[in-house]
Amino acid sequence: MKTPRFEVSQETKLTDYQITQYEENPLNRKFEDKVVLITGAASGIGRETAVQLAKEGATLFLSDVNEAGGQETVDMITSKGEKATFFKADVSKADEVKAMVEACVTEYGRIDSAFNNAGIEGSSSRMVDIEENIYDAIMDINVKGVWLCMKHQIPHMVANGGGTIVNTASVAGLVGSHSLSVYGASKHAVVGLTRSAAVEYVRKGIRVNAVCPGVIRTPMVERGFEHNPQFVEATLKANPMRRLGEADEVAKAVMWLMSDESSFTNGATITVDGGFTAQ
């Protein structure tokens, strides 16, 4: 009787889905054994990035304020035999962010990459019409949230010898936007935090970059289109590609920034906008 070359224990046997993934392209599982934490994972760009990373073998620690949506993302991943856990946390609350990061380290032992992506759009109005409570909510979630996440993630990454962080900014973090002044200011701040973190921590083995999506077809944008239908045509006209972006197009850029393939990219703002900011 022939002795098998490798003994595969019951627990390490691959599911049919994983075998198909390997057979389609074995090099695709380049996040195998990598622990990735994602905020805003219940919807849109965060969810799609989680799903794409799972296809490449990542172990996902997913967080959001929306528990039902977060659990749905986990189910999308675990039903394929991949690994994901959900932890409910509001990124604007220091104690919740600390607990989220600690829970990830307790569960999986480390954080290799983080995608600090949770964010809100606020209302679309001219600067003088924006209410103070909307200003505070946008700044608390979009800016303080990203800062709190990095504040708690970085010490674990340093202790573990390094890691990669991708923050979600926006094209509104690079140029002025009509009726989105506070949102735009919050995303400019995300770019600022990203650049400073990149300079402060690269010699500790941590690269920090920002992804700057243009208008991407997600529930956030669909909400905006519902409130303001003429915005659809104006958005398409304003883009050189005359279309919206898709969440998986952002996910691919995020995954490149997380991976060793972007080893000399640090403190960068990578636009995924069809050329909108190139005009």
166, 257 in Cβ contact below 8 A? yes
| Catalytic member of 22, 108, 135, 183 | 183
Is residue 167 within 8 A of residue 208, CB to CB? The reply is yes
CB of 110 to ligand NAD, least distance (A): 22
Q: Is 183 a catalytic residue?
A: yes
CB of 191 to ligand NAD, least distance (A): 12
The sign of the CA dihedral 88, 52, 25, 36 is negative
Among 94, 103, 120, 202, binds ligand NAD (CB under 6 A): 120
Size, binding site for ligand NAD by CB under 6 A: 28
| Residues of this chain, 16-45, that bind ligand NAD according to CB under 6 A | 39-40, 42-45
At its nearest, how many Å lie between ligand NAD and the CB of residue 20? 28
What is the C-alpha radius of gyration for the chain, rounded to an integer number of angstroms? 19
Phi, psi of 25 (to 5 degrees): -165, 100
In total, the chain counts a number of residues equal to 279
Of residues 180 through 219, those in contact with ligand NAD by CB under 6 A are 213, 215-216, 218-219
Give the one residue of 56, 64, 82, 249 binding ligand NAD; rule: CB under 6 A: 64
| Long-range contact set of residues 103-111: C-beta below 8 Å, sequence gap at least 24 | 103/61, 104/35, 104/37, 104/61, 105/156, 107/61, 108/35, 108/59, 108/61, 109/35, 110/35, 110/156, 110/160, 111/35, 111/36, 111/37, 111/61, 111/153, 111/156, 111/157, 111/160, 111/163
Q: Pattern 78-117, binding to ligand NAD, x per CB under 6 A?
A: ------------xxx------------------------x
CB of 54 to ligand NAD, least distance (A): 17
Nearer to ligand NAD (CB atom), residue 43 or residue 266 = 43
Show the site string, 133-172: x = touches ligand NAD by CB under 6 A, - = not: --------x--------------------------x-x--
Task: Name which of 117, 116, 118 is nearest 163 in CA terms.
Answer: 116
Taking residues 42 to 61 in sequence order and writing x for each that binds ligand NAD by CB under 6 A, - otherwise, the string is: xxxxx---------------
- Mode of pairing for the β-strands spanning 163-168 and 113-116: parallel
Smallest separation, CB 25 to ligand NAD (Å)? 27
Main-chain dihedrals φ then ψ at residue 218, nearest 5 degrees: -140, 170
Query: CA-to-CA distance for 210 and 190, rounded, in angstroms?
Result: 8
Q: Which is nearer to ligand NAD, 18 or 179 (CB)?
A: 179
Q: Is 208 helix (H, G, I), strand (E, B) or coil?
A: strand
Binding site for ligand NAD (CB under 6 A): 39-40, 42-46, 64-66, 69, 90-92, 117-120, 141, 168, 170, 213, 215-216, 218-221
Q: Which residues are catalytic?
A: 183
